[in-house]
Amino acid sequence: MFDLPPDMPPAYAVDDAVIQQCISFNANHFELPELALRSIRKVEGGKACTVSKNTNNTADLGIMQINTIHLPSIQKHYSSITAEDLACKPCLNITVASWILKQRLEEANGDVWLAVGNYHSKTPKVRMRYLKKIKKAIASILKERKGSK
């Protein structure tokens, strides 16, 4: 499994402007559609220092709710990143989530829709449920964007 310190700070909200800046930077850096990252963020809805335990003995960490199943791969490439870092450092969390999504995009041969679904689960039934949530999130984001013009 994974280890988190017993004295984890409580979950806290992060300013939307900070989140948007981190998402924009990472969308550009990883050559990902910003709307994909924004919709994942909206569906996942995590806060900084959020740790959501799952029934399969994993947990979802931080802003983008990165599943701890990814920790071995993350630590193989970025050895200094801990589970607490992923949970409590919002921009780092978004960066690692972007890195994971980029891997999913490469696995899906550029199919963004499949990559976003696979960010959550590669199990078809679970992926499709998630993509329905993503579709609603995208509609909401586009409506918000239209309303702010």
Give dist(CA 123, CA 91) in Å, integer: 28
Question: pTM to 2 decimals?
Answer: 0.92
The candidate with the shortest Cα–Cα distance to 61, out of 22, 18, 30, 93, is: 93
Burial of 138 (0-12, 13-18, 19+ CB in 10 A): middle
Q: Which CATH architecture has domain 16-143?
A: Orthogonal Bundle (1.10)
| Structure confidence at residue 21 as a pLDDT band (50, 70, 90) | very high
Q: Are 48 and 14 in contact (CB under 8 A)?
A: yes
Q: Which residues neighbour 60 within 8 Å (Cβ) at sequence distance 6 or greater?
A: 44, 46, 50, 51, 52, 54, 66, 67, 68
| Structure confidence at residue 147 as a pLDDT band (50, 70, 90) | confident
Q: Are 12 and 68 in contact (CB under 8 A)?
A: no
Q: Are 19 and 92 in contact (CB under 8 A)?
A: no
Q: Nearest 5°: phi and psi at 12?
A: -145, 150
Q: Taking residues 118-122, what's their average pLDDT?
A: 95
pLDDT, tens digit, for every residue of 65-96?
999 999 999 999 999 999 999 999 999 999 99
The candidate with the shortest Cα–Cα distance to 67, out of 46, 39, 38, 37, is: 46
Is the confidence at residue 9, as pLDDT, over 90?
no
Give dist(CA 58, CA 109) in Å, integer: 28
Is the confidence at residue 136, as pLDDT, over 90?
yes
